[in-house]
Amino acid sequence: MATFILADNQDLTRYGFVYIIDHFFPNHSIVRTEDRIELEDELKKADESIVLVDPELFDIDTLEDLEVLASRYIHSQWILVSNDFDDTTIRNMSARQEVSILLKESGKEEIRSAIKCALKQDRFICHQITNRLLSMQISSDSELLTPTEVEVLRLIAQGKSVKEIASIRFSSSHTIVSHKKNIFRKIGVNSVHEATRYALKSGLVDIDYYI
């Protein structure tokens, strides 16, 4: 039987989790903590615990502090719940198998799924955070492209042919073909259709262009 440790000083969130746990996971105990000292005391007592924590509204000052706690109590699972996650926190924490991530606006089904995953020592990332991770990956990949390659990709996504792009860019068709090959290799696509979809997702082309 796992112990749920509530490490969130927002009453509404606490009561919400208590209701969900009591209603859907009644065979597990719930402990409330007020600060980091109480949290560590409870972590020491419970071999298997699931910590429900909002780092912004609890006695955890930095991302590094949270990582230290997660590394120190290796048998515990962590469900981070906040509406103030920055990109660094999302990147670092989503890579940890023992950490799940929810937004406070996440629905009941996502909360239940996160708890179920934690009980099985699996990770759960809510769909909105998953979308942010995808956007960050696309942005990171786009940074690999040179300004010229970004412009060529934009023109490809607009349906321009190699000849048309060469004319717009005052370049030879051979040069544009070389750019196209490099772009496809860098962003990991094999067709104009995939490149266009990539450009749409990364915001290089507005969907209104196709309407």
In which residue are the tokens 């007020």 written?
A: 34
Query: Which pLDDT does position 4 carry in this prediction?
Result: 96
SS3 content of the chain, % helix, strand, coil (to 5): 55, 10, 30
pLDDT for the residue 138: 63
Per-residue tokens: 143: 């940074």
Q: Are 197 and 138 in contact (CB under 8 A)?
A: no
Closest CA relative to residue 28, chosen from 10, 13, 14, 48: 48
Q: Indicate the pTM of the whole model.
A: 0.67
- Closest Cα to residue 17, out of 103, 83, 84, 108? 108
DSSP code of residue 205: S
Asked whether the CA dihedral 170, 185, 203, 207 is positive or negative, the reply is positive
* Cα separation, 185 vs 204, whole angstroms: 18
Rg (the chain; Cα; Å): 23
Q: Rounded to a whole number, what is the distance in angstroms from the first to the last CA of the chain?
A: 55
In this prediction, residue 152 carries a pLDDT of 92
In the block, tokens 């590394």 appear at: 71
Number of H helices, E strands in the chain: 10, 5
> What phi and psi, each to the nearest 5 degrees, are found at residue 86?
-90, 170
Rounded Cα distance, 141 and 144, in Å = 5
Running DSSP on this structure, what letter comes out for residue 194?
H
Cα 191 from Cα 148, distance rounded (Å)? 19
Cβ–Cβ < 8 Å for 94, 101 = yes
| Six token digits for residue 50 | 């699931």
**Per-residue pLDDT tens digits of the chain, which is 211 residues long:** 889 999 988 888 889 999 999 999 998 999 999 999 999 999 999 878 999 999 888 888 888 888 899 889 989 999 999 988 888 888 889 889 999 999 998 998 999 999 999 999 999 999 999 888 877 766 666 567 888 888 999 899 989 999 999 999 898 999 999 999 999 988 888 999 988 888 887 777 766 555 4
Beta bridge partners of 6: 32, 52
Q: So what's the pLDDT on residue 145?
A: 84
